Amino acid sequence: MRLLAGLLLSLLALTGCDIAIKNGLFACGQPSDCPSGYFCWSSDNRCYDSKEPQCEPKSCEQVIAEFGSLGIPIECGSLPDGCDGSVDCGGCPEGEVCGANGQNFLCGCDENTCATFGTGAKCGFVPTRCGGEEEAIFCGSCPNAELVCVDNECICPPGQNCDDECGGLCGNEEVCVDGECCTPAYPCAQNECSPPGGLPDGCGGVAHCPPCGGDEACAFGSNLVYQCLGDCTCEAQGVECGSATLCGSPRLCGTCADNGFGEGYRCDDGRCVCEDPFEYNDTFDAFAKVCGGGGVNCMQDAWSLNLQASLHSEDDVDLYLLEVLDSGTPIVAQAYNGLSERVLFMTYLCPDGFVGMAACSGEVDSQQGIEFCTSRDDFVAIQRSCEQSTSSQVGTVLVGVESRNFRDDCDPYSLKILATYGQEIPTL
The residue ranges of the chain whose pLDDT is under 70 are: 1-19, 129-134, 221-223, 248, 279-280, 293-296, 388-392, 421-423, 426-428
3-class secondary structure for the chain? CCCCCCCCCCCCCCCCCCCCCCCCCCECCCHHHCCCCCEEECCCCEEECCCCCCCCCCCHHHHHHHHHHCCCCCCCCEEECCCCCEEECCCCCCCCEECHHHCCCCEECCCCCCCCCCCCCCCCEEECCCCCCCCEEECCCCCCCCCEEECCEEECCCCCCCCCCCCCCCECCEEEECCEEECCCCHHHCCCCCCCCCEECCCCCEECCCCCCCCCEEEECCCCCEEEECCCCCCCCCCCCCEEEECCEEEECCCCCCCCCCCCEEEECCEEEECCCCCCCCCCCCCEEEECCCCCCCCCCCEEEEEEEEECCCCCEEEEEEEEECCCCEEEEEEECCCCEEEEEEEEECCCCCECEEEECCEEEEECCEEEEEECCCEEEEEECCCCCCCCCEEEEEEEEEEEECCCCCEEEEEEEEECCCCCCCCC
**Distances from the Cα of 277 to the Cαs of 266, 321, 337, in angstroms?**
11, 14, 18
How many angstroms separate the CA atoms of 198 and 187, rounded?
Answer: 10
Report the candidate in 348, 335, 343 with the shortest Cα–Cα distance to residue 305.
335
Q: What is the pLDDT of residue 416?
A: 94
Q: What is the pLDDT of residue 86?
A: 86
pLDDT digits (tens, 9 = 90+) for 331-362: 999 999 888 888 999 999 998 888 998 889 99
Q: What is the pLDDT of residue 8?
A: 24
Contact 422, 329 (CB under 8 A): yes
How many angstroms separate the CA atoms of 312 and 316, rounded?
Answer: 6
List beta partners, residue 169.
none
Contact 252, 243 (CB under 8 A): yes
How many angstroms separate the CA atoms of 277 and 268, rounded?
Answer: 11
- The contacts of residue 322 (CB under 8 Å, 6+ apart) are 289, 290, 291, 292, 298, 305, 396, 397, 398, 399, 417
- The contacts of residue 321 (CB under 8 Å, 6+ apart) are 287, 288, 289, 290, 292, 396, 397, 398
Q: What is the pLDDT of residue 179?
A: 86
pLDDT digits (tens, 9 = 90+) for 280-324: 677 777 788 888 765 557 888 888 899 888 887 788 888 999 998
Which residue segments constitute the domains of the chain, with CATH numbers given?
Answer: 60-108 (no CATH), 288-419 (2.60.120)
Q: What is the pLDDT of residue 14?
A: 36
Contact 177, 205 (CB under 8 A): no
Q: What is the pLDDT of residue 5?
A: 24
Global confidence as pTM:
0.42
- What does the radius of gyration of the chain's CA atoms come to, in whole angstroms? 41
Tell how strand 288-291 and strand 317-325 pair up. parallel
